[in-house]
Amino acid sequence: MRWPDDLFYISLFVLGYCAGPIALVWGWISFVHRRREGWNRMLIISFVGFLLASISAVLGLAIFLYPWNGAVENDSMMKLFYRWIAYGAALSTLGFLFAIAGVWKSHSLRWQAPVSALGTLAFWLIATTWP
């Protein structure tokens, strides 16, 4: 491997396994503590993106916790595995689009939503492209 490839995978790893989970936890804590904050359109749009990123993260956790028992070599199990990956990547992408649409006004999820969506998307990219 060349060093640009290594740098790309290291960046994905840091984003997917460090920044993404931290942004998810920080975002939920921030959102719960500021739940009395007035709901405006930008907060709702960011919350939808943040919620999609959270669902994608739960799906990623489910893949790790699912008892595969070496059955991934089975064709139907392999199809299920890659279908979950496709759903997770689609949720992350959609969450990122909503999160970016909601950053134009200050609120509790302004930056946590896009970072967590990018983190879960990086996780799914790692799951499908790790060398």
3-45 pLDDT tens trace: 777 888 889 999 999 999 999 999 999 888 877 777 888 888 9
Question: Dmax over Cα atoms in the chain, in whole Å?
Answer: 51
Provide the CA 18 distance to its chain's centre, in angstroms.
11
pTM, to two decimals: 0.88
**What is the tally of structural domains in the chain?**
1
Residue 17: DSSP 8-state: I
Residue-wise pLDDT for 71-119, tens only, equals 556 677 778 888 889 999 999 999 999 999 999 888 888 899 999 999 9
Distance CA 16, CA 8 (A): 12
Contacts of 110 (CB under 8 A, 6+ apart): 42, 46, 102, 103
- The rounded distance, in Å, linking the Cα atoms of 93 and 3 is 27
Residue 81, by phi and psi: left (phi above 0), alpha (psi -120 to 50) or beta? alpha
- pLDDT, tens digit (0-9, with 9 covering 90-100), for 54-64: 999 999 998 88
Six-digit token string for 74: 């089975």
Tokens of 35: 């739940």
Range of the domain at 76: 3-129
